[in-house]
Amino acid sequence: MTSNQEIRTYYDELAERYDDNRFGNTYGRYLHEQEKQILRRWLKDIPVKDCVELGCGTGRLLDFAGTGVDFSPKMLKQAAVKYPKHQLQVADITDLPFSNHSFKAAFAVHVLMHLDIEVIRQVLRQAYRIIRPGGYFIFDVPNLWRRRFINYSKGGWHGNTALSQNELGIICGNDWRIVHTAGVLLFPIHQLPNAVRRPLRPLDSWLCRTPLKRFASYHFYALQRQ
């Protein structure tokens, strides 16, 4: 099992250059825009003040949440520069510093994929505790089917955990109901020239809302708390 300290150290060391390193290129911007589209669509009826981002990192998606938590103080320091009026707290998402039913929605992007299955269960329990009945938890995970199809080779903790929708349903049990799904990165953008990436993005996003999302690299899920 991966230790929290190992992951925290990784992100602390990367914090000052994280945005440029991960999202300052055409691939990162492609991914970022697809993710924002999904959050904009699924959170459109939820006030920002009633939403929390779990693992908010440097805050690239904090337009959608009034509160953010992350266990890397240095990543959160970068977020505070961008969002000085937001409520930002250093915390482990398996032990959240909020009272029961504090929020109507929570989301976590590029977070659960780094965690072991048992830790994901803990995160879901915490999300269940802090979200009001009928509220939502939105997150992404790598598509297990696609990884098997391309014979993906696991290595280390980074992005190592993929799930199928059936497996997720088992993990959710009776606490959550899957109400929305969408794909991200249907096309192998990392293998295509920079010049074609931006023109392809609208088509990719549209196809990822059709049954072809089965083939996407990542799947987004919106769970409703029962």
Amino acid 1: pLDDT: 53
Degrees to nearest 5, angle at CA 218 with 216 and 223: 115
- pLDDT value at residue 151: 85
Residues (pLDDT < 70) of the chain are 1-3
Other Cβ atoms less than 10 A from the Cβ of 203: the count is 11
In this predicted structure, what is the pLDDT of residue 87? 97
The residue assigned the tokens 């987004």 is: 220
Q: Taking the domains of the chain in order of start, what are their residue ranges?
A: 4-225
What pLDDT score does 2 carry?
A: 57
Q: Where are the alpha helices (DSSP H) in the chain?
A: 4-14, 18-23, 26-42, 73-82, 117-130, 144-149, 165-172, 194-207
* pLDDT tens digits along 2-37: 567 888 889 999 999 999 999 999 999 999 999 999
Question: What superfamily would CATH give domain 4-225?
Answer: Vaccinia Virus protein VP39 (3.40.50.150)
pLDDT of residue 3: 66
